[in-house]
Amino acid sequence: MPAVAKHTETAARRYDVVIVGASFAGLVAARTAAMRGLSVAVLEAKPDVASRVATTGILVKEAAEEIDIPHWLTRRVHGVRLYGPSLAHVDLFAPGYFFLTTDTGRLLGWLAAEAQRTGARLLLGARFEGAERHGEIFRFKGLNIEARYILGADGARSAVARCFGLGRNTRFLVGLEQEYEGLGRTDPRFLHCFLDSRIAPGYLAWVAPGPAVTQVGLAVTRGRKADLPAFLAHTRHIFGYDEARVVERRAGRIPAGGVVHPWSAPGVMLVGDAAGVVSPATGGGIRLAFHFGRRAAHAIADHILHCGPAPEYALAPALPRFRAKRILRRALDLALPNPLIDLALTTPAMRWVASHLYFHRRGVGGIGFDAFQEQLPRWRPGEGSLRNGAANDAG
Ligand SMILES: Cc1cc2nc3c(=O)[nH]c(=O)nc-3n(C[C@H](O)[C@H](O)[C@H](O)COP(=O)(O)OP(=O)(O)OC[C@H]3O[C@@H](n4cnc5c(N)ncnc54)[C@H](O)[C@@H]3O)c2cc1C
């Protein structure tokens, strides 16, 4: 019956929800929505979710508690070594707290596989270029699909926000990073963070030992120069970059102005960086992308399957306001003179602020740092990667 065959070939495939962007927010939302029983498609402009990753990909403990992630894609790092401009440093830690550095490309691949396993359809190389509402249904420009709901998880410069006249991110930090193989002088018990108003005005620079490579980068307030060569020259004698090999370079923008307004319209919501749901102080966005990706999927499923309220009404009260963090961002943008930073680092008040920022008020107290270090495997410069016990081996 050729007429019927022709019809099925050209009929648009209809989904309950189409998610734009297959990264942290979009993939977690897709998995959750599919598990709740929705038909889900994810549009991703890149040909592969793991390619051109634009993040350091460090997970705070709360992110690791939000979504369970295979240990072989991560390295557990317990402390933060915070350096001043003179390179004098203090070691910060909190018993029970940790960060996970990640093999980020593979982590995204794993999240994509999880979303597909639950039934979500992943359309790679499918760029969202606009959609129009026809009654209760959205039709997508250039794609033979329809949706009852659209979730924009397409990052800091969201095309979904542009298409539907939603709020856009206007304030950014700009990040630049290199990945090294063989940076054996890096003490892997710490995230190495550098405060320096000349080299990283408005934010900081970092050396982060990952499961496979070490990431070296910095972020600055937009409009200031992200001078990675200056940072490398400043810290070369500590880390010995010349002995290692650069395997990848990354750059990206981090929204720093808080949640965009409006962040939703009837049938459309933004999550993750698209919604500006990123801490303006620390630039951390993955935990919030996980959290609100899931929450958005719950709200859409409740609405479509169980006559729940419009998802944007269900989610609105939970969105962070970042009041204190926006004030802190303004203070950081002022970039303290370097001698003052060095001086501040010696004070208990500054250590208290730093501990609270890094460790989110959790786990502070308990055993002292020396006792804590005693419990960690020993490491000496030049030893290469620290294997943090079987549960954290890179595999
Ligand atoms: C240099 C740098 C370092 C960072 N380090 C950290 C860190 O260590 N820890 C942390 O918590 N946060 C970090 N962040 C922030 C964090 O990366 C983001 O908050 C997080 O990636 C947001 O996830 P997302 O899913 O909302 O968006 P994104 O990760 O930006 O993903 C958006 C996706 O949408 C796709 N897309 C875009 N446009 C379209 C379109 N038109 N059609 C289809 N697909 C599209 C993109 O290809 C991409 O896959 C960093 C950011 C930068 C720039």
Residue partners of 227: CB distance under 8 A and separation at least 6:
199, 218
Residue partners of 100: CB distance under 8 A and separation at least 6:
58, 59, 61, 63, 64, 69, 74, 75, 76, 77
Provide the pLDDT for residue 227: 93
Q: Which atom of ligand 1 is the closest one to the Cα of 175?
A: 1
- Rounded to the nearest angstrom, the distance between the alpha carbon of 85 and the centre of ligand 1 is 29
107 in helix, strand or coil? helix
Q: Whose CA is nearest to atom 35 of ligand 1?
A: 21
Residue the block writes with tokens 């409740």: 302
Ordered by start, the domain boundaries in the chain are 1-45+125-170+259-328, 53-100+172-255+334-395
Provide the pLDDT for residue 379: 65
Q: Whose CA is nearest to atom 29 of ligand 1?
A: 23
Provide the pLDDT for residue 382: 63
**DSSP H/E element including 194:** strand 190-194
Provide the pLDDT for residue 372: 65
Burial class of residue 40 in the structure, from the number of CB atoms within 10 Å of its CB (0-12 exposed, 13-18 middle, 19+ buried): buried
Residue partners of 362: CB distance under 8 A and separation at least 6:
61, 94, 96, 97
Helices within the chain (DSSP H only): 2-10, 24-35, 61-66, 104-117, 159-163, 228-239, 286-306, 311-315, 323-333, 338-345, 348-359, 369-375
pLDDT values of the chain reduced to their tens digit, one per residue, 395 residues: 334 344 344 789 999 999 999 999 999 999 999 999 999 999 999 999 999 999 999 999 999 999 999 999 999 998 899 999 999 998 888 878 899 999 999 999 999 999 999 999 999 999 999 999 999 999 999 999 999 999 999 999 999 999 999 999 999 999 999 999 999 999 999 999 999 999 999 899 999 999 999 999 999 998 888 899 999 999 999 999 999 999 999 999 999 999 999 999 999 999 999 999 998 888 889 999 999 999 999 999 999 999 999 999 999 999 998 888 888 888 888 878 999 999 988 888 877 777 777 776 554 444 556 666 666 666 666 665 544 433 333 32
152 has which bridge partners?
20, 270
Question: Distance between CA 388 and CA 370 in Å, rounded?
Answer: 17
Q: Which atom of ligand 1 is the closest one to the Cα of 27?
A: 25
- Rounded to the nearest angstrom, the distance between the alpha carbon of 384 and the centre of ligand 1 is 30
Half-sphere exposure of 326 (CA within 13 A, CB side): 11
Query: Mutation test of ligand 1: which of 75, 128, 154, 160 has the most ligand atoms closer than 8 Å to its C-beta?
Result: 154
- Rounded to the nearest angstrom, the distance between the alpha carbon of 168 and the centre of ligand 1 is 15
Considering the segment(s) 1-45+125-170+259-328 as one domain, its CATH architecture is 3-Layer(bba) Sandwich (3.50)
Ligand 1, residues at Cβ distance < 6 Å: 20-26, 43-46, 54-58, 127-128, 153-155, 159, 175, 177, 250, 252-254, 272-274, 278, 283-287, 289
Q: What CATH topology corresponds to 53-100+172-255+334-395?
A: D-Amino Acid Oxidase; Chain A, domain 2 (3.30.9)
By C-alpha distance, which of 118, 111, 18, 77 is closest to 358? 77
Provide the pLDDT for residue 326: 84
DSSP summary character for residue 304: H
